[in-house]
């Protein structure tokens, strides 16, 4: 991946050719011409342009959104969930990370994505080694430093969910196995059956195959 340090005096037309361009956080935040065909991040002053997540990541992410909204609309304490969005930029210091999903909790109002730090950030891990290092190490440090209370790493390859919590919350790290259900103290009464999300990811990994009717 090229990171040629090129800066233009004109406002750039952003796209794959912009990958590696030098950019300040202010320039990134002010940019209005990001398209929806790519993922844009600012890492250490360099614009990173990536393809969007694949179906095996978008599918379970959409299902997670459905589970969250069902909780919000159907659980007595569901109003603790202020909102959730997929493919959302998270400010982490001078970096701008593209998170698979963010969840705002406890604001008692509609979140402002520009200023409100999500309580929970979720990443669905891809199989490329550099992406795994990014999701398990780099983003972990950055998200917690920015004020995120829980960071969920959903790994369909290891068949686990790793939950990292901001101190002093304990345990600082929790591993949820495939057939277990995760319950977070941030959302009383919310239950996340990991097997359900992994099943959706598996289905999208095998396009064209008939789905089993007894899917969870």
Mean pLDDT of 51-56: 87
Domain boundary among 52, 69, 85: 52
In a domain, 176, yes or no: yes
**Total count of domains within the chain:** 2
In a domain, 146, yes or no: yes
Q: Is a pLDDT exceeding 60 seen at residue 4?
A: no
In a domain, 210, yes or no: no
Same domain as 7, residue 62: no
Domain boundary among 13, 30, 52: 52
- Measured CA to CA, the distance from residue 155 to residue 137 in angstroms comes to 14
Among 67, 28, 86, 91, which Cα is nearest to 192's?
67
Residue 34 structural domain: 1-52
Tens of pLDDT, residue by residue over 100-129, are 999 999 999 999 998 999 999 999 998 877
Burial class (CB in 10 A: 0-12, 13-18, 19+), 61: buried
Predicted model pTM: 0.85
Q: Which domain CATH number covers 64?
A: 3.90.1570.10
Tens of pLDDT, residue by residue over 148-206, are 999 999 999 999 999 999 999 889 999 999 999 999 999 999 999 999 999 999 999 88
């Amino acid at each position: 991946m090229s990171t040629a340090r090129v800066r233009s005096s004109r406002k750039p037309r952003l796209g794959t050719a912009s990958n590696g361009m030098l950019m300040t956080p202010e320039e990134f935040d002010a940019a209005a011409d990001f398209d929806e065909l790519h993922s844009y991040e600012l890492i250490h002053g360099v614009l990173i342009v990536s393809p969007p997540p694949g179906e095996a990541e978008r599918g379970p992410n959409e299902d997670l959104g459905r589970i969250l909204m069902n909780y919000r609309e159907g659980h007595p304490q569901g109003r603790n969930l202020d909102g959730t969005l997929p493919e959302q930029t998270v400010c982490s210091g001078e970096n701008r990370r593209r998170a698979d999903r963010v969840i705002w909790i406890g604001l008692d109002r509609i979140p402002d994505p520009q200023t409100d730090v999500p309580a929970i950030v979720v990443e669905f891990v891809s199989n490329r080694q550099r992406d795994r290092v990014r999701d398990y190490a780099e983003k972990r440090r950055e998200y917690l430093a920015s004020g995120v209370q829980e960071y969920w790493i959903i790994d369909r390859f290891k068949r686990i969910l790793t939950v990292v919590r901001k101190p002093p919350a304990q345990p600082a790290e929790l591993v949820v196995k495939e057939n277990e259900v995760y319950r977070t103290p941030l959302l009383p009464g919310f239950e996340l059956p990991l097997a359900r999300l992994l099943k959706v990811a598996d289905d999208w990994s095998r396009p064209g195959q008939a789905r089993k009717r007894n899917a969870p």
